Amino acid sequence: MTTDTVTLRPVGRVVGGRSEMVEDDWHDVRAVIRLDGETFTASAVLGLEGFSHLEVVFLFDRIDPAKVRTDPRPPRGNPSATPVGIFAHRGPYRPNRLGVSRCRLLAVDGLNLHVADLDALSGTPILDIKPYLIEFAPRHPVTQPAWATELMSSYFRGVVDVLNGTFERSSQHSDYLLVARSIVRRDDAW
């Protein structure tokens, strides 16, 4: 195994939204991704306004690297859950403390990207941004264990409503319809 290190420079930071870690209810949390004006000009986001969603890579900068564990543990520390390995978790205590999120792009204003549903805290360093393309969605049925479905049931309110059939269709929530359609199999525990 290599012992090489990789150095990354943030392309921007999150401004606004949440300032404290909260596990659930990220739906419609509004924030701004402010790109670094010393590195970029508005030309860096030329054409981005034509996309509805972004994929954002960020650093869990508030996580102490010494507290990262790679041994199996229960999801979200739930003592009644079966332990799973580090790469079966999506939480912040990761070997490189990297987070990946898909969020809605609401507006592009110079180097300020107005977003919703970005589950990163105010001040978080943004490492990269890409437009989300439908063609990168899974091409085959998406499956996941029942514990993951239960765990995430309140993370983004709205998805649960789609899957339960209580969703009221509106253009504001069209992204949830895409997510719901990509989930082909649900466990009986749902």
Does the pLDDT of residue 83 top 50, yes or no? yes
Q: What's the pLDDT at 80? A: 80
**DSSP label at 131?**
E
Enumerate the H helices of the chain as residue ranges: 146-151, 159-164, 174-182
φ, ψ of residue 102 in degrees (nearest 5): -105, 135
Mean of pLDDT over the chain = 82
* The token pair that represents 147 in the structure block: 């514990």
Identity of the highest mean pLDDT range in 15-29, 76-90, 161-175: 76-90
Instruction: Please say whether the beta carbons of 27 and 153 come within 8 A.
Output: no
pLDDT digits (tens, 9 = 90+) for 27-68: 778 999 999 999 999 999 999 999 999 999 999 999 999 999
What digits encode the pLDDT tens for the residues 116-142?
A: 999 889 999 999 999 999 999 999 999
Which pTM value belongs to this model?
0.77
Q: Alpha carbon 188 to chain centroid distance?
A: 26
Burial of 6-27, coded b for 16+ CB within 10 Å and e otherwise, reads eeeebbbbbeebbeeeeeeebb
Res. 75 pLDDT band, cuts 50 70 90: confident
pLDDT value for 25: 61
Contacts of 93 (CB under 8 A, 6+ apart): 60, 63, 67, 68, 69
Bigger pLDDT: 77 or 26?
77
Return all residues near 22 (Cβ < 8 A) that are at least 6 apart: none
For 131-190, the pLDDT digits (tens) are 999 999 999 999 988 888 887 776 666 544 544 554 444 444 444 444 444 433 333 332
CA 42 to chain centroid, in Å, comes to: 24
- The pLDDT-based confidence of 17 (bands split at 50, 70, 90) is confident
**pLDDT (0 to 100) of residue 23:** 66
- Contact at 8 Å (CB) between 54 and 105? yes
CA 174 to chain centre: 17
Give the pLDDT confidence score for residue 127 in this predicted structure: 98
